Amino acid sequence: NLDYQKLIYEFGDIQYEIAKLKELSTIFETTKGENLVLSYLMQRRCNVNPKEISQELNLTSARVAAVLKKLEERNFLERFEDPENHRQTLVRVLPEGEAYHQTMHDNFSLSVRELLEMLGKEDAVNYLRIRRRIVSYYKDKNKRQGGD
């Protein structure tokens, strides 16, 4: 009989170790806060309404506003009035934001490549298969619960 409580503790220990390791946290930090929003904006390649960012990334509007403010302070993006609807604000990435995103992407790619090479072909394929399965499970669970 599988001892899930033991596995839960081991999972927590691994999460803690990941958080402490700079290179591993670099891989996982790309999906948080400022980096997540900047990556989303770079993928969209167009001007975006903050409300759309909030909906797509499952972030509160207050969190999006705080992240956009920080990105704007770093000169990575700018907010401006929507010319078609003067009550709306749009966001666009500036050259400094594009350069930062490229550096972040390059570092991420290098770190992930090293990780996958260290695992070897079979384990790397299995690792990604398991991660896809986890994502699929939570997407399905969210749909069943009436979420996005």
67-102 pLDDT per residue, tens: 999 999 999 999 999 999 989 999 999 999 999 999
Helix%, strand%, coil% for the chain, nearest 5: 70, 10, 15
Give me the mean pLDDT over the 114-122 stretch: 96
pLDDT value for 27: 75
Task: Indicate the pLDDT class of residue 25, thresholds 50, 70 and 90.
Answer: confident
CA angle 139, 141, 142 (to 5 degrees): 65
CB atoms within 10 A of CB 51: 12
pLDDT value for 147: 63
Considering only residues 19 and 52, tell me which one the structure prediction assigns the higher pLDDT: 52
Mean pLDDT (the chain) is 90
Q: Which structure tokens are listed for 81?
A: 């009035």
pLDDT value for 29: 66
CA distance 121 to 44: 32
pTM of the model: 0.78
Q: Identity (one letter) of the amino acid at 6?
A: K
Helix 33-44 to helix 95-119 angle (10° resolution) is 110
